[in-house]
Amino acid sequence: MIEAGVDVYNPLEAKAGMDPVELKQKYGSRIAFYGGLDTRLLGEGNWEDIEKEVLYKLNAAKGGGYLPASDHSIAGNVNPRWYDRMINLLKQKGTYPIKL
């Protein structure tokens, strides 16, 4: 895909083991990544797990080249308050330059 000229890879499906931090380390100088936040956590996890997921995945954004977003659509079992809280965390911690 890189050789074909793709600039950004999406989706990064968490349950398929696609970790944006690892992908960025391996290919980040050649392609950007979008997604990767595990929507299963949003629907079934607790806030501590969601926060840990977001802060870990934001490491891929250091130096640019990663756009944090859900790994696919937001399911109906996602608590809207937790989704809003996640977005606010991303806004707070995901401002460049990334400082975690």
Q: Determine the average pLDDT of the residues in 68-86.
A: 91
The pLDDT assigned to 51 comes to 96
pLDDT per residue as tens digits for the range 19-75: 999 999 999 999 999 999 999 999 998 999 999 999 999 999 999 999 999 998 898
Q: Determine the average pLDDT of the residues in 64-93.
A: 93
Whether residue 99 is predicted with pLDDT greater than 90 in this model: the reply is no
Give the type of residue at 87: I
The domain locations on the chain are 8-93
In the chain, what is the greatest distance between 2 CA atoms, to the nearest angstrom? 41
Other C-beta atoms lying within 10 Å of the C-beta of residue 60: 25
